[in-house]
């Protein structure tokens, strides 16, 4: 017995010495002249099974003898570096989508990754390896915003697969950089796949889309990001798809992602999703089986601790082979290699970005530019832009007028000097105009709200003002990610909305303000579509400001007073009421009257792509180079655009495709191209688009399991929104 104890002490001591040893710089994994793949293979070969398993959770411990530092894979950068202190806060994703400006999106993402790199290396210098200090970012969220009730919809780029793909690709490219050897950071497209509410059932829900909806609505943006933009990581969803956990789906992770799309990066689970395989989906009978099936089906990294706690036993039980664990570990170590984590900082170009870049003046100015570009004018009876020479008194009322939370949304950083709407207005008008502010009633009524109507003093000020500005809507407290402990409030449930109408307390406030006879402008801060119960007919103007980021107040003031001519466009349909919506849990895009502009057969309050300007644009001279094409042809389309108004401005020219007649069910129309164009007053430009028949006219054939182009007539529509079509032309696809 004494000998056995002695031997155990010797073995433990040897392991301790091995763990504390310094990495051998002569080994292959340390040799920077070798390929990352060769170095990774050598590194993983030297790891013990316990060491390998230790690296498969988001919180991965150090392995000093191999030069592996402690690392947490969890970081966020949805619209700025998040949860890591001071950083530039850009408009929420839905607001950036409203810009319809892919060039600006890439610039913003490049700034975010500059700040990410600068912060990471500062954390490293301070030996801070905690969460939100790494270079692997779980952004962007490219789920399709199918239903406006979904609380997380504002994290996305809206309801359209094409717009989502185009904006998402530029975001990924800006994050990951363009160096031929190193990744700037890793971008993670999420949540794969068919994940867009409801929040309360996300851990148990089984999404069962038909095959065409899967390939025509839910997967295209992911294909854009993984195949075209080369995002190096993808996050699985909580829910099941066709009965399989998204985190252990042969169809999603092996067939589509690895085989069809040739993805060679790594897959990470949403946080707790591996646990859900056993605990909520009840697909397997133990955590060991959940861990084994997760790795075997291609989920390399677990956000959570199930892999680290259960895989060793799973190996002993024969549920998984060590070689399968090697594959996942290799993918993760290769990602770290590509980020330069095993190389001297002096040879990694992105490691030279100075910390002074964080929250610098140039980045603050870009936050203002992006906020301006996101401003979407939904209605204007001529009151905007406000004429300062005719105004002596303005009353500003509303729960979002001085609400920083409504600027920053969720998954946000901390702005050093956020500008709320009331502060932006006061700063803009200076001492020339009297500005009176009343907060008024809250966003929504719950048990903590005592005052739910406008005071007599507030209404008296409205009556004597030249114009009243109501700043309302929602914020990320009311719409957002799963909020289990939140008490139900009328219109809201666990982060989702059960009604899309503006909360009653706000409708009442607006109605009371309208009755005074003073013109009312509604500035709406929200991340989703809001119905107004007919009040939109009485309001003089409605401005959708989204969640506009740290310079949001300045951007709103610039638009209200004409210092900036708005050109944002709706990335979602604004429905007239909740009654227009199908059942929330129905993933069939044609359910009820249909989800999104592509299938909705009702009359929208404000259609997808809608947005007004202070100037006017004329469309003319549509030219299509071919009227008869085959399935593989390229089509060149051009149109002239002229600013015929009195102000310089921007227009978002939108190209939609409509299958004129089909014996199959088809989308009503689909956005296939867009371009945001700046024109001075009187200026004219020719806008050119190139269409690929096998890409832009396709549908998914469920029987043949591939994309096809139907023969027949297709209408090319050019316009200022999905409903405001200015020019049309027909092309015929021959058999």
The pLDDT > 90 percentage for the chain reads: 94
- C-alpha closest to that of 625 among 576, 689, 578, 581: 689
**E strand segments, 583-683:** 617-624, 628-629, 634-643, 649-659, 670-679
Catalytic residue among 479, 501, 651, 696: 479
- C-alpha closest to that of 116 among 369, 370, 355: 355
Residue 24's pLDDT is 64
**E strand segments, 35-160:** 59-60, 71-72, 136-137
Number of H helices, E strands in the chain: 20, 27
Lowest mean pLDDT among 6-20, 78-92, 196-210, 285-299: 6-20
Exposed e or buried b for every residue in 171-182, given b needs 16+ CB within 10 A?
A: bbbbbbbeeeeb
Task: Compute the distance between CA of residue 382 and CA of residue 414 in angstroms, rounded to an integer.
Answer: 37
pLDDT digits (tens, 9 = 90+) for 508-529: 999 999 999 999 999 999 999 9
For residue 450, with 0-12 CB atoms within 10 Å meaning exposed, 13-18 middle and 19 or more buried, which class applies? exposed
Active-site residue 288, yes or no? no
Catalytic residue among 213, 270, 558, 580: 270
Task: Compute the distance between CA of residue 666 and CA of residue 474 in angstroms, rounded to an integer.
Answer: 34
Q: Is the pLDDT of residue 146 over 50?
A: yes
Domain range summary for the chain, segments of one domain joined by +: 2-75+97-146+162-355, 361-569, 617-733
Residues for the chain: how many in total?
Answer: 735
- Is the domain 361-569 a CATH 3.40.50.1700 member? yes
Task: Compute the distance between CA of residue 461 and CA of residue 395 in angstroms, rounded to an integer.
Answer: 7
Residues facing 657 on adjacent strands: 670, 716
Task: Compute the distance between CA of residue 544 and CA of residue 610 in angstroms, rounded to an integer.
Answer: 11
Residue 584's pLDDT is 96
Q: Is the pLDDT of residue 26 over 90?
A: no
Q: What is the mean pLDDT of residues 707-729?
A: 98
Task: Compute the distance between CA of residue 139 and CA of residue 144 in angstroms, rounded to an integer.
Answer: 14
Residues ≥6 apart with Cβ < 8 Å to 545: 95, 374, 375, 376, 421, 523, 524, 525, 552, 555, 556
For residue 248, with 0-12 CB atoms within 10 Å meaning exposed, 13-18 middle and 19 or more buried, which class applies? buried
DSSP 351: G
Q: What is the mean pLDDT of residues 591-610?
A: 98
Count the neighbouring beta carbons within 10 Å of the beta carbon of residue 676: 18
Residues ≥6 apart with Cβ < 8 Å to 441: 399, 449, 451, 452, 453, 454, 505, 506, 508, 509
Q: What is the pTM of this model?
A: 0.96
SS3 state at 150: coil
Report the CATH fold assignment for 617-733.
Immunoglobulin-like (2.60.40)
SS3 state at 200: coil
Q: Is the pLDDT of residue 11 over 60?
A: no
Mean pLDDT, the chain, as a whole number? 95
Task: Compute the distance between CA of residue 354 and CA of residue 115 in angstroms, rounded to an integer.
Answer: 9
Give the architecture (CATH level 2) of 2-75+97-146+162-355. Answer: Alpha-Beta Barrel (3.20)
Active-site residue 343, yes or no? no
DSSP H or E segment with residue 374: helix 361-374
Place of tokens 């982060």: 495
Residue 88's pLDDT is 98
Residue 698's pLDDT is 97
């Amino acid at each position: 017995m004494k000998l056995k104890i002695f031997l155990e002490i010797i073995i433990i001591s040897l392991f301790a010495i091995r763990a504390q040893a310094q990495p051998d710089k002569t080994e292959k994994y340390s040799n920077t002249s070798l390929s990352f793949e060769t170095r990774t293979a050598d590194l993983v070969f030297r790891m013990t099974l316990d060491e390998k398993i230790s690296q498969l959770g988001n919180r991965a411990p150090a392995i000093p003898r191999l030069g592996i530092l402690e690392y947490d894979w969890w970081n966020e950068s949805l619209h700025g570096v998040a949860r890591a202190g001071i950083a530039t806060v850009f408009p929420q994703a839905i607001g950036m989508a409203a810009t319809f400006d892919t060039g600006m999106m890439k610039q913003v993402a490049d700034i975010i990754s500059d700040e990410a790199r600068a912060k990471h290396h500062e954390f490293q210098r301070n030996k801070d390896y905690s969460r939100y200090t790494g270079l692997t970012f779980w952004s962007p969220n490219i789920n399709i915003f199918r239903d406006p009730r979904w609380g997380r919809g504002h994290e996305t780029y809206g309801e359209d697969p094409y717009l989502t793909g185009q904006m998402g690709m530029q975001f990924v490219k800006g994050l990951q950089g363009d160096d031929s050897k190193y990744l700037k950071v890793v971008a993670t497209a999420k949540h794969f796949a068919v994940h867009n509410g409801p929040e309360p059932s996300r851990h148990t829900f089984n999404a069962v889309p038909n095959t065409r909806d899967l390939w025509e609505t839910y997967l295209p943006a992911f294909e854009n990001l993984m195949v075209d933009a080369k995002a190096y990581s993808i996050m699985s969803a909580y829910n099941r798809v066709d009965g399989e956990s998204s985190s252990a789906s042969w169809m999603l992770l092996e067939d589509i992602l690895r085989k069809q799309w040739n993805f060679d990066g790594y897959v990470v689970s949403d946080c707790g999703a591996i646990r859900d395989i056993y605990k909520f989906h009840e697909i397997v009978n133990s955590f060991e089986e959940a861990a084994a099936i997760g790795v075997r089906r291609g989920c390399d990294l677990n956000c959570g601790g199930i892999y680290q706690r259960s895989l060793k036993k799973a190996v002993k039980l024969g549920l998984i082979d060590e070689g399968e664990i090697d594959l996942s570990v290799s993918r993760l170590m290769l990602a770290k290699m590509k980020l330069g984590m095993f190389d001297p900082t002096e040879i990694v170009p992105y490691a030279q970005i100075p910390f002074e870049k964080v929250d610098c003046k140039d980045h603050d100015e870009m936050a203002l530019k992006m906020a301006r570009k996101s401003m979407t004018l939904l209605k204007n009876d001529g009151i905007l832009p406000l004429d300062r020479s005719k105004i002596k008194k303005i009353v500003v009322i509303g729960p979002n007028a001085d609400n920083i939370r409504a600027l920053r949304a969720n998954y946000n950083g901390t702005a050093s000097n956020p500008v709320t709407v009331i502060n932006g207005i006061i700063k803009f008008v200076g001492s020339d105009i009297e500005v009176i502010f009343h907060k008024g009633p809250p966003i929504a009524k719950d048990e903590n709200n005592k005052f739910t109507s406008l005071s007599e003093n507030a209404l008296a000020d409205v009556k004597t003002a030249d114009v009243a500005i109501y700043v309302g809507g929602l914020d990320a407290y009311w719409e957002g990610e799963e909020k289990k402990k939140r008490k139900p409030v009328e219109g809201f449930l666990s982060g989702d909305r059960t009604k899309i109408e503006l909360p009653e307390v706000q409708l009442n406030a607006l109605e009371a303000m309208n009755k005074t006879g003073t013109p009312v402008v509604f500035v709406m801060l929200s991340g989703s579509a809001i119905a107004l119960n007919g009040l939109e007919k009485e309001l003089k103007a409605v401005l959708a400001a989204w969640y506009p980021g740290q310079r949001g107040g300045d951007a709103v003031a610039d638009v209200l007073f004409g210092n900036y001519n708005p050109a944002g466009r709706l990335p979602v349909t604004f429905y007239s009421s909740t009654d227009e919506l199908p059942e929330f849990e129905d993933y069939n895009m044609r359910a009820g009257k249909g989800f999104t502009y592509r299938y909705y057969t009702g009359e929208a309050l404000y259609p997808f792509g809608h947005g007004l300007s202070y100037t006017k644009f004329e469309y003319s001279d549509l030219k299509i180079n071919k009227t008869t094409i085959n399935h593989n042809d390229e089509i060149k389309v051009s149109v002239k655009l002229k600013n015929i108004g009195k102000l310089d401005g921007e227009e978002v020219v939108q190209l939609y495709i409509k299958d004129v007649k089909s014996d199959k069910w088809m989308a009503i129309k689909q956005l296939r191209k867009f371009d945001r164009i700046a024109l001075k007053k009187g200026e004219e430009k020719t806008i050119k688009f190139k269409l690929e028949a096998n890409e832009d006219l396709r549908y998914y054939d469920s029987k043949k399991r591939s994309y096809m182009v139907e023969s027949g007539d297709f209408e090319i529509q050019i316009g200022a929104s999905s409903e405001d079509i200015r020019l049309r032309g027909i092309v015929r696809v021959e058999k």
